[in-house]
Amino acid sequence: MEIQVATLCDSAVDYGGKLSLLGAFDTIVARELPAVHPQCSVALRILFRKEEEGSHTLSVNVGSMGDFFFSTHNLVLNLQQLRFENSGLYSVDVAIDGRQIASVPLQILQRQQRTQ
């Protein structure tokens, strides 16, 4: 299996096998901490080869592909009210069958107050 796309974004949808993303990002700038990000999505496009047919712990079910050589699947995970207590580097780690297959970096920065 191969991860073709792994990103954080404002929203994502699987539209007839096409993965549509809106607002991919890797940084959140917060006015104050703790910060709560109201909504975002983890969007994945995963390529499965014929020999990887079957069930996986990420609940991705790859069925019979007939004469096809491979199958791709889009997966969108919508996250609500993500809370970050501190600024710094975070990551969203994705694992299938207990094996990490992608890591999406995310940095949280605190906006500096301007002094006058």
In 3D, which of 9, 6, 4, 28 has the Cα closest to residue 107?
28
The pLDDT assigned to 100 comes to 85
User: Reduced to 3 DSSP states, what percent helix, strand and coil does the chain have, rounded to the nearest 5?
Assistant: 5, 70, 30
Please give the Cα distance from 79 to 77 (Å, whole number).
6
User: 16-43: per-residue pLDDT in tens?
Assistant: 889 999 998 888 888 889 988 899 888 8
**Rounded to an integer, what distance in angstroms lies between the CA atom of residue 42 and that of residue 32?**
24
**Other Cβ atoms closer than 10 A to 7:** 19
91 HSE (CA, 13 A, CB side): 9
Q: pLDDT-based confidence at 10, cuts 50/70/90?
A: very high
pLDDT band of 62, cuts 50, 70, 90: low
Domain ranges of the chain: 2-110
Tell me the pLDDT band of 63, cut-offs 50, 70 and 90: very low
Q: How many CB atoms lie within 10 A of CB 108?
A: 20
pLDDT given at position 102 = 83
Burial of 30 (0-12, 13-18, 19+ CB in 10 A): middle
* pLDDT for residue 59: 32
Mean pLDDT of 82-88: 88
Contacts of 107 (CB under 8 A, 6+ apart): 26, 27, 28, 87, 88, 89, 90
The pTM assigned to this predicted structure is 0.66
